[in-house]
Amino acid sequence: MSDDMDFEEGGAVKKFMFVNRKAPYGTIYALEGLEVVLISAAFDQDVSLAFLDDGVFQLVKGQKTDGVEMKNFSPTYRALEGYDIEKLYVERESLEARGLSEEDLLVDVQVMSAAEMGDMMAQQDVVISF
């Protein structure tokens, strides 16, 4: 409870990680997660995004959604920098299983091993999954 009070007063900065594990268009999770990330930027917290499993597909270059009549929200990932959200972590094993590499991604990210991703998660105060 005291932690919540610190948050209200704006005194304490916590480490928030948003974990993205879903492909972008098959479910609403990726878009909803991105909306929450953008909202979180207003609270001046230490925000990072993790992409693993099918979540890495969210960052693939060249998405063109005209044919499926859905919003192409992939350019928004490039705008995160403007909200001071610059910590984007991608798990290497997830990329490799999907035939992808860092060059296939539309934004600068830090590619790391599963073990390093686990370490990063363990350091967080709050982990929110989409």
Partner 1 sequence: MLHIVNKSPFDTNALAGVLRVAKKDGAALLLIEDGVYAATKNSATEASLKAAGMPVYVLQPDVDARGLQSRLMDGVNMVDYGGFVDLVAGHDNVQSWL
**Footprint of partner 1 (CB under 8 A):** 22-26, 53-54, 57, 60-68, 70, 72, 74, 97-100, 104
Closest CB to partner 1 among 47 and 52?
A: 52
Tell me the closest approach of the beta carbon of residue 68 to partner 1, in angstroms: 5
Task: Quote the tokens at residue 90.
Answer: 């991608």
Closest CB to partner 1 among 17 and 22?
A: 22
Tell me the closest approach of the beta carbon of residue 72 to partner 1, in angstroms: 7
Closest CB to partner 1 among 15 and 98?
A: 98
- State how far the alpha carbon of 32 is from the alpha carbons of 10, 24, 37, 41, 57, in Å: 25, 10, 9, 15, 15
Tell me the closest approach of the beta carbon of residue 88 to partner 1, in angstroms: 17
Tell me the closest approach of the beta carbon of residue 123 to partner 1, in angstroms: 26
Closest CB to partner 1 among 1 and 68?
A: 68
- State how far the alpha carbon of 60 is from the alpha carbons of 12, 30, 108, 126, in Å: 35, 13, 12, 27
The alpha carbon dihedral of 126, 82, 27, 93 has a sign of: negative
